[in-house]
Amino acid sequence: MRTSPASRWASSAGRPQKTPEVRRSTPRRSSAALVAVKSLHTFAWLSIESCMVYLLYAGFARRSDRRAAVAAGVVAGESLIFVADGFRCPLTQLAEHLGAERGSVTDIYLPDWLAHNLPGIHVPLIALAAFLHARNLRAGRGCEPS
């Protein structure tokens, strides 16, 4: 009679049961791909944050120019993509597919508190930048050449 793999490990004498060790076989390729996805996301995040910083700087400096419009387009595009994917980064599913435990692509390269609070940090900053540039455009100061 054949026994199941689980029953071979069971103890009938009251000893603790041993369970077979399950090795996670993660091919090097998927590990490298996961690092690539996380690195790509980190680069994209830094680029978007740079645009956000420029938007705030230009707003306070009363410079609503073409560069500010491009930066606003980048930030708006990223925000729309995030909202369209159900308030989840689209790279999350790819990271999970490649073997990430939680899938969040920001967890390794950013501090946890920052990664989990990015939307809460960005919404007020986007609102502030929009207010500043609307003020500039109303005052007619946004017509400086780039």
What gap in Å lies between CA 87 and CA 80, rounded to an integer?
Answer: 9
Q: Is the dihedral of CA 71, 74, 77, 83 positive or negative?
A: negative
- Domains of the chain, by residue range, sit at 28-139
- For the chain, give the mean pLDDT: 77
* Segment of 1-5, 26-30, 91-95, 141-145 carrying the highest mean pLDDT: 91-95
The pLDDT assigned to 41 comes to 83
